[in-house]
Structure 1
Amino acid sequence: MFEIFEGLVAKFSSWVWDWPLLILLIGGGIFFLIYSRFTPFLYFKHAIDILRGKYDDQNTPGQLSHFQALSSAIAATVGMGNISGVAVAIATGGPGAVFWMWISALIGMATKFYTCSLAVMYRSKDEKGNVLSGPMYVITEGLGASWKPLAVLFSLAGLIGTLPAFTANQLTQTLIDVWDWEEEYKWHIGFVLAGLASVVILGGIQRIGVVASRLVPFMVGLYFVTVITILVIQFDVVPDMFMMILTDAFSGRAAAGGVLGYLIKTGIKRGAFSNEAGIGTAPMMHGTAKTNEPIREGLVAMIGPAIDTLFVCTLTALAILSTGVWQHSDKNGISLTLSAFNEVLPYGIGDGVVVIMVLVFALSTLFSYSYYGTNCLGFLTKPKYGKYYNYIYLGSIVIAAVVKIDFAINLIDSAFALMAIPTVLSGLILAPRVNKSAKMYFGKLKK
C-alpha cells in the first residue's frame, strides 16, 4: 500500500513541477524584477544597515528583530537543501543545474522583496496580541474574503510542506554513513532528533528566533571555512568548474537523457527548495519582524537568497565538482557530498566536519519549520490551536528518518508546488501596493 502511495506522490511531483509552475515561479520573479525597475537591488547596503539593527525599534509591533527574522528564515533555508539538495541537483541534472539555481536565486531576491513586504503590510493578531503573518493573511486581508479558498489551499499544503521529511531523512542517512550503523538504528536516531527538536520548538517563536540568531552565523562561517579549505587544496581546477557549470547549463549533456529542459527544471526546482522564494514560508517568519515599515523587511528578506543559494549552495557545488566524485559515483544526496569532503580532507576530518555541519544545519531547519506548520494549522482552525501541530511535527521526524530519500523529496516538492501558486498569484495581484509603499519609503530615505 505504501509503495502505491509513493508512486502516486512521485507522479504528482513530476506533473506539478512541469513547465506551468516553473513559468509561474520564474515568470513571476522576472515580472517582479522588471516591475520594481531593479530598485530594491540599489538599496542592498541599506538592507545591511537594517540587518545590523540601525533601525530597530522595540516599541513597534512584532515578535522578532530584523536580524532574528532573517536568521530564522535562513535557518530554515540554509539547511539540508544546501548540503544535500545541491548534490541531488548535480547528480540528476549535471553541473549546469547549478547555473539555473543561481538564476532562481537572483529572481528569487525580487520575489522575496515583494512577498515579504506584503507579509508585513497584511498581518493579523491572535487573542494574545501576537502578530500572525504569511501568504494566507496576505490573501484574506489584502485580497478579501472571497479569495479565502486560495489561502486555505496554501495552509493545507503548508501542513505537509513544512514537515521535516527531507531534513530528518538526510541527517539520519549522514549518521548511518559516517558511523557505518545498521539500518535499524534509523528509528533510534529519529527519536533522539525529535527529543532535541522539542526543547526549542515547544518554546515558541521567541525561543526559535534566539536560537536561530546564534546558530546561523556560526554554521555559515564554519561551512565557509571548510569548503574554502577544500577549494584552496583544489585551486587549480576551480576555474574549470565555473566553466563547466556555464557550458553545461545550455547543453544539458550531463542531465538525464541529455535533455536541456530537464536540466533547467532540476536547477529551478532545487533552487526553489534551497531559498524557498515564492513558496511562502519566509513571509511567515519575516512578517513577525518588529517594524512598521513593510519595505524595510522586504529589503532584509531579499538578502536571504543571496546568502542561501548564491553563497552557500555555490560552495557545496564547487566542493562536489572540484573533487569529481559526481562522475564516478552512483551516490545521491548527502552521501555524495560526504564523498566529496572525504576525497580531499584527511581521513576522518571530512566525516567529522560534515556530521557537525549537518547536525547544525538540520537542527536549525527543524526548529524553524515547526513554526510554519503551527501558523498554517492556526489559520485553518484558530491561532490558539496551532501549537498542536508541534506534536504531529515531532512524530513525523521519527517517520521521516526511515523513509526513502526519493519519497521525501517528492513529498516536499509536491507540497511546495501547491504553496507557490497562492503565494505568487497574490504577490502579482498586490504588487502595485508594494511599489506605492516603496516609492514613499525610498523617497523618505533621500530627504
Structure 2
Amino acid sequence: MLSVIETINTTVNNFIWGVPAMICIIGVGLYLSIRTGFLQIRKFPYAMKTTVGRMLRKREASDGRMTPFQAVCTALAATVGTGNIAGVAGAIAIGGPGAVFWMWISALLGMCTKFSEVTLAVHFRETNENGELVGGPMYYIKNGLKKHWHWLAYLFSAFGVLTVFGTGNATQVNTITAAVNSALINYNLISSDSISTANLIMGIIIALLVALVLLGGIKRIGQVAEKLVPFMAVFYIILALGVVFLNFSRIPYVFSSIFKGAFTPASVTGGAVGSFFMSMKKGVSRGIFSNEAGLGTGSIAHACADTRKPVKQGFFGIFEVFTDTIVICTLTALVILCSGIPVSYGAAAGAELTILGFTSTYGSWVSVFTAVAMCCFAFSTIIGWGLYGARCCEFLFSSSRTTKPFMILYSLVAILGATVDLGLLWNIAETFNGLMAIPNLIAVFLLSGVVVKLVKEYFTTGDGKDA
C-alpha cells in the first residue's frame, strides 16, 4: 500500500514541481517584479528602514489583532523552520551546490510575490464573528475576484487544511525528536532501545505546549512568536557565522561551486547530480518550502496586523523572504559546504547533514546547541502553521466555531509526528505545498493590477511620498 502511495505521490510531485510549475512560480514573480518596476530591488533600503524601524517600536494592538511586529514574527515563525536546516541540506544533497543559486533566484523574485500577497491580504481582509481580523489568499480571492473564480478560494483552503498536518506539524515534530535524540545519544544519556519511549514522551509534551499556545488565541500566538523568533534567529546566525569564520579559506571555492553547479552540476558533484533541471527544481522547491513566497500562507498572519496601510505591511513580505532565504538558508548552505564534510550527492539527506557541519567545526558539544536551535525553529513553525490551518478551516466551514476543535486535533498530530517514520510524509508535504501554490499564484496574477494601483497611491500620497 505504501509503495502505491509513494508511486502516486512521486508522479504528482514530478508534475507539480516540473517545468510548468517552475515557469508558473518564477514567471509570476518576474511578472509582478516587472509590473512594480522591481520594487524589491528599487525600494529595498526603504523596505529595510520601514520594517526594521517598526520592529523596534513597542506598541499594543487592539483586541483580535496583532501588532505589525507580532504579525511578521508569526509569519517568520512559520517560514523560519526546518526548511532552513533540513530543506537546504536536502536541496544540496539531491541538487548539488548549484541548488543554492536557484534558491537565491527564487527568493529575489519571491520577495515581490510575497510583498503582493501581504498587500492584498491586508487590503481585502475581513473581521470575523469574534471580532478578529481574518485574511489571506481565500479572502483576496473572495473579495477581489469575480464569483466564477471563488472556487479557487475553497481549493486553497482545502489544500491548506491538509498541508498543515504534514508540513506544519508532523515533519517539524519529527525534526525535533531527531535533534534531541542526536544530542542525548552523543552524551550517552539515552540508548537506542529507549528512543521510541523518549519520542512518545516528547510528542505528548509538544502536543500540550502547542495546544497551550494556540488555544490562547491570536494574542498569545503573537506574544510567543515575537519572543521566540528573534531569539532563535540570532542564536542560529551567530553559530553559523562562527563556522564560516573558522573555515574562511574555503569561501572562494564554495561560491565557485555554487555558481558553477547551478549550470553544470556534474562538474561539481562528480556526475552524481548531472541534471541542470534537478539542481534548479530542488533549489526553487526547497526555497519556496522555506520562505513560502507563492504559497500565500504568510499573508494569513499579516492580515491580523493592526495597521491601515496594506503596502506598508507588504514591505514585511520583502523583509521575510530576505531574512529567511538570503540570510538564514545561505548560512545553512555555507555551514555544510565550508565545513568540508563529505556530501553524498544524489542521495537524500536532511538535518543530520547540517548538524554534521556544525559538529565537524566545533566538536560534538555543539550538538546540544543545534538541538536547541532546531527545536525552536520547528516549534515556531508548528505555531505559525496552526494559525494558518485554523483560518483555512474557518473559511471552509464559514464559522469560527471550527477553530478550537481543529487546534486540538492539530496539537494531537504532534504525537504521531514524534512516533512514526516520516520519510514519505516529507515528500507528500512538498506535493501539497505545490498544490496550495497553484490557486494562490493564479489569484495574485489576476490581482496584480490592484497591487500596482495600491503601490502608486502609497508612493504619491502618505508615508511613501518621500521614499
TM-score range, shorter chain: over 0.9
Deviations 1:123-174 (A, max 9, x none): 1221122111010011111113332211111001001222213211212122
- Equivalents in 1 of 2:362, 2:402: separation in Å? 48
CA distance in 2, matches of 1:290, 1:326: 48
Q: Residue type of the partner of 2:318?
A: M
1:184 aligned partner: 196
Please give the alpha-carbon distance, in whole angstroms, between the structure 1 residues aligned to 2:212 and 2:285.
32
> What is residue 442 of structure 1 aligned with on the other side?
459
Residue 397 (structure 1) aligned to one of 397, 402, 414: 414
User: Aligned partners of 1:55, 1:144: CA distance in 2, in Å?
Assistant: 39
Q: Does 1:231 align with 2:244?
A: yes
Can you give the 5+ residue segments of structure 1 that lack an aligned partner in the other structure?
none
The alignment's C-alpha RMSD in Å is 2.1
Matches for 1:77-92 after TM superposition, within 5 Å: 77-92=79-94
Map of 1:36-435 to 2, 5 A cutoff?
Answer: 36-51=36-51, 52-53=53-54, 63-163=65-165, 164-180=169-185, 181-182=191-192, 183-185=195-197, 186-253=199-266, 254=269, 257-327=273-343, 332-348=349-365, 350-381=366-397, 382-435=399-452
Over 3 Å counting, the alpha-carbon distance change for 1:105 and 1:326 in structure 2 is farther
1:73-128, Cα deviation, whole Å (9 max, x unpaired): 11111110111111111111111101101111111100011111000111122112
SS at match of 2:264: coil
User: Structure 2 CA distance, aligned partners of 1:416 and 1:331?
Assistant: 19
CA contact (8 A) 1:230 1:344 kept: yes
The range that moved more, 78-87 or 165-174, is 165-174
**CA distance in structure 1 between the aligned counterparts of 2:79 and 2:143, rounded to whole angstroms:** 27
> Is the partner of 1:278 in helix, strand or coil?
coil
Residues 321-349 of structure 1 show CA distances to partners (whole Å, capped at 9, x for unaligned) of 1122243596720111111111110331x
Q: Distance in 2 between matches of 1:306 and 1:286?
A: 16
More deviation, 84-93/406-415 = 406-415
Distance 2:138 2:386 in 1: 17
The SS at the match of 2:85 is helix
Q: How far off its partner does 1:410 sit?
A: 1.3
1:25 counterpart residue number = 25
Structure 1 residue 386: deviation in Å?
2.3
Contact 2:22–2:281 (CA under 8 A) maintained in structure 1:
yes
- Range with bigger deviation, 87-96 or 42-51: 42-51
Change (3 A) 1:389 1:406: same
Report the CA distance between 1:287 and its aligned residue. 1.2
Q: Distance in 2 between matches of 1:138 and 1:345?
A: 48
Question: 1:346-391, CA deviations, whole angstroms, 9 ceiling, x for partnerless residues?
Answer: 331x211111101111111111110000001000111231232112
Checking the alignment, whether the CA contact within 8 Å between 2:153 and 2:439 is kept in structure 1 is: yes
Question: Which amino acid is the alignment partner of residue 150 of structure 1?
Answer: L
| Aligned residues of 2:130 and 2:400 also touching (Cα < 8 A) | no
For residue 320 of structure 1, what is the amino acid of its counterpart? I
Distance 1:325 1:59 in 2: 47
**Whole-Å separation in 1 of the counterparts to 2:318 and 2:105:** 14
State how far apart, in whole Å, the 1-side matches of 2:215 and 2:252 are: 47
| C-alpha contact (below 8 Å) 2:293/2:321 kept by paired residues | yes
Q: Does the CA-based 8 Å contact 1:133-1:288 persist in structure 2?
A: yes
Gaps of 5+ in 2: 186-190
Please say which of residues 243-252 and 161-170 is displaced more in the overlay: 161-170
Q: Secondary structure at the match of 2:441?
A: helix
SS in 2 for 1:258: coil
Q: Distance in 1 between matches of 2:319 and 2:30?
A: 17
Shift of the alpha carbon at 1:60? 7.7
Structure 2 CA distance for aligned equivalents of residues 85 and 247 of structure 1: 21
Offset, 1:12: 2.1
Mark the CA change 1:377 to 1:323 in structure 2 (over 3 Å): closer, same or farther. same
Aligned equivalents of 1:234, 1:30: Cα separation in 2: 36
* Contact 2:95–2:273, Cα closer than 8 Å, also in 1: no
Give per-residue Cα distances to partners, 1:391-432, cap 9 Å, x unaligned: 221122121223434312212111111111111111111111
> Aligned to 1:325, what secondary structure does the other structure show?
coil
The offset of 1:178, in angstroms, is 2.5
Aligned residue pair count:
446
Structure 1-normalised TM-score?
Answer: 0.94
Percent identity of equivalent pairs: 35
Alpha-carbon contact 1:60-1:292 (below 8 Å) kept: no
Look up the SS of the partner of 1:249 in the other structure.
helix
Structure 1: distance between partners of 2:402 and 2:154: 16
Distance in 2 (alpha carbons) for counterparts of 1:178 and 1:111: 38
State whether residues 61 and 67 of structure 2, in contact with CA within 8 Å, keep that contact through their aligned partners in structure 1.
Answer: no
Deviation string for 1:152-205 (max 9, x for gaps)?
110010012222132112121222223235342333322222122222121122
The TM-score, its normalising length taken from structure 2, stands at: 0.91
Question: CA–CA distance in 1 between the matches of 2:145 and 2:290?
Answer: 29
Q: Which amino acid aligns with 2:68?
A: H
Contact 2:182–2:367 under 8 Å retained in 1: no
- 1:245 positional shift: 0.6
Amino acid at match of 1:281: T
Give the Cα separation in 1 of the matches to 2:428 and 2:19.
Answer: 19
* 1:63 alignment partner, SS class: coil
TM-superposed CA distance for 1:49, in Å, is 4.0
- Equivalent residue letter for 1:415: F
Q: Distance in 1 between matches of 2:322 and 2:89?
A: 19
Q: Supply the distance in 2 between the matched residues of 1:79 and 1:36 (Cα, whole angstroms).
A: 30
Opposite residue 4 of structure 2, the aligned amino acid is I
Residues 55/62 of structure 1: CA separation in 2 closer, same or farther (3 Å cut): farther
Measured in 2, the distance between the counterparts of 1:207 and 1:314 equals 31
C-alpha distance in 1, partners of 2:310/2:16? 32
1: distance between equivalents of 2:344 and 2:442?
Answer: 42
